[in-house]
Structure 1
Amino acid sequence: MATLNTTTGTLDADACYPALLARDARFDGRWFVGVTSTGVYCRPICRVRTPKRENCRFFGSAAQAEARAFRPCLKCRPELAPKSDETRWSAMDASRTLARQAAAWLDACDDAEASVEQLAAVIGVSSRHLRRIFAAEHGVTPLQYLQTRRLLLAKQLLTDSALPIGDVAHAAGFASLRRFNAAFAEHYRMQPTALRKEGRAQPDEGTTVLRLAFREPYDVGGVLAFLQARAVPGVETVDVANAVVQRTVSVVHAGKVCSGWLRADFGRRPGQVWVEPSPSLWPAVGTLLPLLRRWLDLDADPQGIALALGEGATPGQRLPGCTDRFELAVRAVLGQQVTVAAARTLAARFVERFGAPLADAPPGADRLFPSAARMSAEPSERIAELGIIRRRADSILEIARRWPELRYASGLGSADDAVAELQGIAGIGPWTAHYMLMRGWSWPDTFPPGDVALRKALGHSEETPLSPKAYLAAAERYRPYRSYAVLHLWRT
């Protein structure tokens, strides 16, 4: 990986320029190149004529490039690039983990008046300390990072959607159209209306979709087969043959609940998934986008994962996440000590009784999974009547009632603390807590204790039994991608 020149704030050109010449897709989203002769920054895969080496400045993020007054390329569209791989969190020190979590919070920030002080309070550190660790990790201030994220989202919406410009400004997180126009003109040296005319997608590509890029290879069939086996009727439908998944979604954006459905299609263009949200979700697209990327694990590093998993690994192995942590938590509890098919049946009953119907939605994705707030007032008898063990019904209700205070719900803090907190809920053991982190937090390096299938895959037999300590020791070879190893071993 290229090293940072602390004097210039740029990456080592000797390491980056050969990859730029080769248009090496492995580095897409890991760094960007600013071209001094044009004032534009591009992805490493950009198909325009390669600039001269002396005109290139390499940056570790789009925010760093924009902080140096480069504007995004209209051809390769930096806003579509996969994000830099964040799956090394588990191997980082506490400060780096906090800086990455602060960036994740900013990615989903829907408060037009967000401040460093507000973020510091959420993270649990002083604003001064936050600025220091954030700049050390990301090379820019938190507000510079947030401004770049909002402008790139607006650029994507101007190009790929038919939203009115005022709605684009609101969806991207700007407090007013005037502020949006001023920021856009200052940073990109053009008006939003001019970009819409110049950069709009071609009619045959569609203009009402979100195009989300990922690094290839991507095991589309494996991801969709995993989701299909667990798809809850009414909430989610999966068509593996046509590489399409549809599901219902509820998100809170700017203090308002936005509910709808979406369709994700992997078959439109290599290296991209095209997502069509329902009209009701477009205003919340700023909150929706990071959820989609985690749900489909679009920012993973396939080469690093393959190296960790070793021989026999499926190329492009991914770790499917979730669009709703409460939904994942409930389904994890329902899946305790039963087959995947049985858990799906219980979840279907749960949704049929407590989920709200969604109007104007496609068949099979026309019912919302019940929220924590909806379930917190229910008696456990109503859940147990569905054939769900009373102890599990009580666990679901305790999760719902404690939801606002749970670390797991916020996605912030230490994974170990979140696991310990979850295990403090009656009926949730180590396996369930680790599974919830693995898919609810998209945590890359956890290994559910005591899993029967994993024990067998790691060499457990009656003749050579594995102790709990030996079981975890055998999984060490897969660090820092043990969560990916779980799916790999389940598969084999």
Structure 2
Amino acid sequence: MPHDPGERDTTDDGEQHEHARIGLSRAQCLEARLARDARFDGRFFTGVLSTGIYCRPICPARAPHERNVRYFPSAASAEQHGLRPCLRCRPELAPGSGRRLPEVLELALKGIDGGALTEQSLPAFARTLGVTERTLRRQFERHLGVAPSQVELTRRLLLAKRLLTETSLPITEIAFAAGFASIRRFNDAWQHAYAMAPRAERALGQSPGEEAPLTLRLGYRPPYDVSAMLAFYRLRAIPGLERVDEKGYERRYDYRGQTGWIRVEPGEGHYLNVTLRGVAPRALPDILHRVRRMWDLDADLAQISAHLTQDPLLARLAAHSPGVRLPAGWSDYEVLLRAIVGQQVSVKGAITIMGRLVARTEAQFGAAALPTPAQLCALNLDGIGMPGSRIRTLQGVASALASGALTLATARDEQLLALPGIGPWTVAYWRLRCGLDTDAFPASDLVLQKALGGGDKLPVKEVLERSAPWHPWRGYGASWLWHAMSTAPALLGMPSTSPAGGAKVARPDNPETTS
């Protein structure tokens, strides 16, 4: 990380607040942008006051004089100050900030990123988060310096800019895909923010042409081990729903009765390419949000590694396999199904059962997908390969979700633990694989117990003590240990024949089974 030479900032109070939100001093931001350091991409944006534009730290343009610069913690805050995005470095492609924020604010940002404010008002959205609109606004202002409406408007404009630049979609379709209610509102918002018509942006990019698959880029901060992510998803691909080859990951996607496919694969530079076939453009906010979370694209791995590698064991793992991320699932609901089905069985066995769930849903309801909670309550699960106790757990969770007694987006641990068959391992694993809590750590996981015990099963109490210094990134520590057990067990002091990721794992969450 760039050092702080101790220079005294001469910024005003507003800039001081912005640097506090960024977590970097003005001198550190200066050093990062002059070095075009990709590790800081998305952590802050450089506003060039003399030109009225804002850039990413990696912008290839000639570096502006520091006296003409102001640093912002987000694209929304830069646009709130009347700046427009740079055409060369394209701020809309930057990864997220990776900052840790209060839980309700993180949930709100994830919801906005997925298009929640396209479907509902801010007061209604606040209620889904369990807070008042006033409280939500105060959280945004305190930690981000902008209102929720500015974050949502910037999201819409930057998505529209990306579609105008990278695709041949008609402008009307782009307006609706970005979340605008009408082409007039889109034109007005674009003109007000960027002082030109949307068609001028299209003229700088590609012109409408023949219909083709829609491909967009999603950025990340290096290091990033794409091959490790593909290996993770390859082992866990659900038959009939997902497929993974040597180069990429594909998934079925259903939107309002229309079925298409999404493909994710490595792109040039620090990007993943996301290609959509047969998917309505209006589904883009939801898809891009899910892919970013699933592939852990917004993590600041340099910051996480600096903390975790203070532990000699994790330092060895990071040196051997830099860029190992924390893979997540497609949805909170799907991850919970995977966690329950995966209790006390191998990964391969769990995926076989998940494939059967998809097949039975298609046979009974006509859709090749995982069953909705209501469908799961009615689905015939006889002979599916699970004990009756686990079937009751699955359908009990489905019943709670279908009735509205449980909402996963705001579920508390005690609510989940009150459900029959749900224990600490399932809750911790679910939170970890949902990207809901980077500190989630399933200490009763047998692979983790053996990884930290050098092959011997370490008691849960000792696992918790051993991992305590990793806070608030214990989830990444778990991911690194699982990866090492699969690829390099010798680093953990174990023989190369040690159980890998597909081995049977004891997870004592179901009271009617034993480990």
TM-score, structure 1 normalization: 0.87
After superposition, residues 128-277 of structure 1 pair within 5 angstroms as: 128-200=134-206, 208-240=214-246, 242=247, 244-250=248-254, 256=256, 259-266=259-266, 268-277=267-276
For 2:71 and 2:230, locate their aligned partners in 1 and report how far apart those are by CA, in whole Å: 36
Alignment correspondent of 2:487: none
Is 1:294–1:321's contact at 8 Å kept on the other side of the alignment? yes
Structure 1 residue 129: Cα displacement: 2.2
Among residues 420, 431, 439, which one is paired with 2:425 in the alignment?
Answer: 431
Code of the residue aligned with 1:287 in structure 2: it is D
Alignment correspondent of 2:105: 99
For 2:303 and 2:362, locate their aligned partners in 1 and report how far apart those are by CA, in whole Å: 40
Among residues 464, 482, 488, which one is paired with 2:480 in the alignment?
Answer: 488
Structure 1 residues 47 and 404: CA distance shift in structure 2, 3 A: farther
Structure 1 residues 58 and 264: CA distance shift in structure 2, 3 A: same
For 2:454 and 2:370, locate their aligned partners in 1 and report how far apart those are by CA, in whole Å: 38
For 2:304 and 2:265, locate their aligned partners in 1 and report how far apart those are by CA, in whole Å: 24
2:313 is the alignment partner of 1:312: no
For 2:240 and 2:434, locate their aligned partners in 1 and report how far apart those are by CA, in whole Å: 21
Flag structure 1 segments of 5+ consecutive residues without an equivalent: 90-95, 360-365
Is 2:168–2:206's contact at 8 Å kept on the other side of the alignment? no
Task: Calculate the aligned-residue CA RMSD, in Å.
Answer: 2.7
Alignment correspondent of 1:92: none
Structure 1 residue 123: Cα displacement: 2.2
Structure 1 residues 151 and 80: CA distance shift in structure 2, 3 A: same
Is 1:151–1:172's contact at 8 Å kept on the other side of the alignment? yes
Q: Percent identity?
A: 39
Worse-matched range after superposition: 214-223 or 106-115:
106-115
For 1:356 and 1:196, locate their aligned partners in 2 and report how far apart those are by CA, in whole Å: 45
User: How many equivalent residue pairs?
Assistant: 461
Is 1:172–1:286's contact at 8 Å kept on the other side of the alignment? yes
Code of the residue aligned with 1:483 in structure 2: it is G
Is 2:236–2:351's contact at 8 Å kept on the other side of the alignment? yes
Alignment correspondent of 2:460: 468
Among residues 90, 93, 110, which one is paired with 1:77 in the alignment?
Answer: 90
Partner SS state of residue 106, structure 2: helix
Is 1:160–1:210's contact at 8 Å kept on the other side of the alignment? yes
For 2:404 and 2:297, locate their aligned partners in 1 and report how far apart those are by CA, in whole Å: 26
Partner SS state of residue 474, structure 1: helix
Partner SS state of residue 306, structure 1: helix
Alignment correspondent of 1:287: 286
CA offsets per residue over residues 262-302 of structure 1, 9 Å max, x none?
01111x31210000012324221012111110011101111
For 2:159 and 2:147, locate their aligned partners in 1 and report how far apart those are by CA, in whole Å: 19
Is 1:28–1:81's contact at 8 Å kept on the other side of the alignment? yes
For 1:111 and 1:142, locate their aligned partners in 2 and report how far apart those are by CA, in whole Å: 9
Is 2:260–2:277's contact at 8 Å kept on the other side of the alignment? yes
Alignment correspondent of 2:409: 411
Structure 1 residues 315 and 451: CA distance shift in structure 2, 3 A: same
Is 1:356–1:368's contact at 8 Å kept on the other side of the alignment? no
Code of the residue aligned with 1:248 in structure 2: it is R
Structure 1 residues 341 and 131: CA distance shift in structure 2, 3 A: same
Structure 1 residue 147: Cα displacement: 0.8
After superposition, residues 9-24 of structure 1 pair within 5 angstroms as: 10-11=18-19, 12-24=25-37
Alignment correspondent of 2:46: 33
Alignment correspondent of 2:490: none
Partner SS state of residue 193, structure 1: helix
CA offsets per residue over residues 214-268 of structure 1, 9 Å max, x none?
011101111111111111222111123x2x11111346xxxx46542101111x3
Code of the residue aligned with 1:325 in structure 2: it is D
For 2:66 and 2:34, locate their aligned partners in 1 and report how far apart those are by CA, in whole Å: 10
Code of the residue aligned with 2:423 in structure 1: it is G
Partner SS state of residue 310, structure 1: helix
Code of the residue aligned with 1:310 in structure 2: it is A
Code of the residue aligned with 2:325 in structure 1: it is R
Structure 1 residue 114: Cα displacement: 4.3
Structure 1 residues 384 and 107: CA distance shift in structure 2, 3 A: same
For 1:5 and 1:27, locate their aligned partners in 2 and report how far apart those are by CA, in whole Å: 23
CA offsets per residue over residues 168-208 of structure 1, 9 Å max, x none?
111111111100100001001111111011134999xx982
After superposition, residues 376-395 of structure 1 pair within 5 angstroms as: 376-378=377-379, 382-395=380-393
For 1:297 and 1:404, locate their aligned partners in 2 and report how far apart those are by CA, in whole Å: 29
Partner SS state of residue 143, structure 2: helix
Flag structure 2 segments of 5+ consecutive residues without an equivalent: 20-24, 309-313, 485-515
Structure 1 residues 405 and 318: CA distance shift in structure 2, 3 A: farther
Structure 1 residues 461 and 302: CA distance shift in structure 2, 3 A: closer
Structure 1 residue 374: Cα displacement: 2.5
Structure 1 residues 207 and 260: CA distance shift in structure 2, 3 A: closer
Is 2:332–2:408's contact at 8 Å kept on the other side of the alignment? no
